[in-house]
Each structure stands twice: as C-alpha cells, then as structure tokens.
Amino acid sequence: MFTGIITDIGTISALRQEGDLRARIRTSYDTSRIDLGASIASDGVCLTVVDLGPDWYDVQISAETVSKTNLSGWTVGTRVNLERALRVGDELGGHIVSGHVDGVAEVVQIREEGDSTRVTLEAPQALARFIAPKGSVALNGTSLTVNEVDGCRFGINFIPHTKTATTWGNVALGDKVNLEIDTLARYVARLAEMPPH
C-alpha cells in the first residue's frame, strides 16, 4: 500500500527486454535500506525490486503491466515519481493507493493560474464515473484532489510544491498518465449497483 505522497524522482537509466521488460531506476533512496522483493511505486505502478546497486534498483515489468499503463513510453532518461511502500506507523498524508493502475488518462488542457497550474485530463469512459469533485485520484502515483468533472474530463490544480517535488512540473499536452481511482469510490459504485434484498 502507498499514500500517493511522492518521496523521490527517479530516472530510468537502462531498459532491457528479456521475456519481461527490465528497467533500472536511479534513485536518491538509500538502497542499503531496500530489500530485494520490496515494492516501490514507480509513476504509480507497484513494481518489485529484483536487483540493487549503490544508487539504483532494477524492476521487472510484465507485458500485461506495460499494456495497461504508460510504462510503454519509458525511455532512458525518463523521470518517474517514486514512493516506497507504507510501513506501520507511517503518516498517511495522501489517500490509500494500491499501486494497481486502472487505466491511462490524457492531458488535454494546461492553464497557468497564479503560481499554480490547472490541468484538465480525459479519463477512459469506463473509469469516469468513479471520479468525483473533491474526491481523490492517483495520477502517476501522486495523490491529488479533483477540482471539477465534466463527463470524462476532470481538472486538477498543481501547487508549486507539487510541481517541484514530483514530475508534474514538466507536464505537457498529450501526456499519457497512469490513473488509479480511489478505492473507496470503487466500492461505493459497486454497492450502488447491487440490488437491495
């Protein structure tokens, strides 16, 4: 489990196709404190550490994960939002995030508003009903509050801190973004579908 509070920005330093896709991610995390088999959310995708070095770790990514996320767009030099898994006693600053991406949203509008940046995204139709004003979403692993919803489109406001602490400072039109809907929204929608007894 994760919170959507990004704690490092990593950089893809190598990619190899070897059955599954293998990626090496450079990080400022103290890798001596990361165990093989640990889960690290990388742009919101929960990935398992399979090898470690002094300032890097390797992950293997299945074809299924590549097909359902924006990881197919990773290249050497891509910057990615990183978050280590929650430990008992950690502060829950964002919202509960599983690291299981539901789909990919697309950035369709960017507008500067004072020091903040307003970004409008378009979600896949099947996921749009789970996105509500003032609700939470995880976008590229970042816990964010939805400002407004209009059909499949929804708006997010990025404050200066978020733009510097994550990769959101480099957002561009057309970017494909990993979207994880709020677990609570998923269960509420499921309950609403069930007929009363």
Kindly list the domain boundaries of the chain, sorted by start residue: 8-84, 103-193
Give the percent of the chain with pLDDT over 70: 97
Q: Is the pLDDT of residue 126 over 90?
A: yes
Are the C-beta atoms of residues 7 and 145 closer than 8 Å to each other?
no
Cβ pair 46, 39 in contact under 8 A: yes
Residues in the chain: 197
Contact between 56 and 13 under an 8 Å Cβ cutoff? The reply is yes
The pLDDT tens digits of the residues spanning 60-89 come to 999 999 999 999 999 999 999 999 997 766
| pLDDT band (50, 70, 90) for residue 172 | very high
Residue 193: what pLDDT? Answer: 75
Q: What is the DSSP letter of 4?
A: S
Q: Which CATH number fits domain 8-84: 3.40.250.10, 2.40.30.20, 3.40.50.970, 2.60.40.10?
A: 2.40.30.20
* 193 C-beta neighbours (distance < 10 Å), count: 7
Whose structure tokens read 């509500």? 132
How far is 19 from 22, CA to CA, in rounded Å? 9
Asked if domains 8-84 and 103-193 share a fold, the reply is yes
Q: Using alpha carbons only, give the angle 79, 85, 88 rounded to the nearest 5 degrees.
A: 150
- The C-alpha angle 102, 49, 16, rounded to 5 degrees, equals 85
Please name the fold of domain 103-193. Answer: Elongation Factor Tu (Ef-tu); domain 3 (2.40.30)
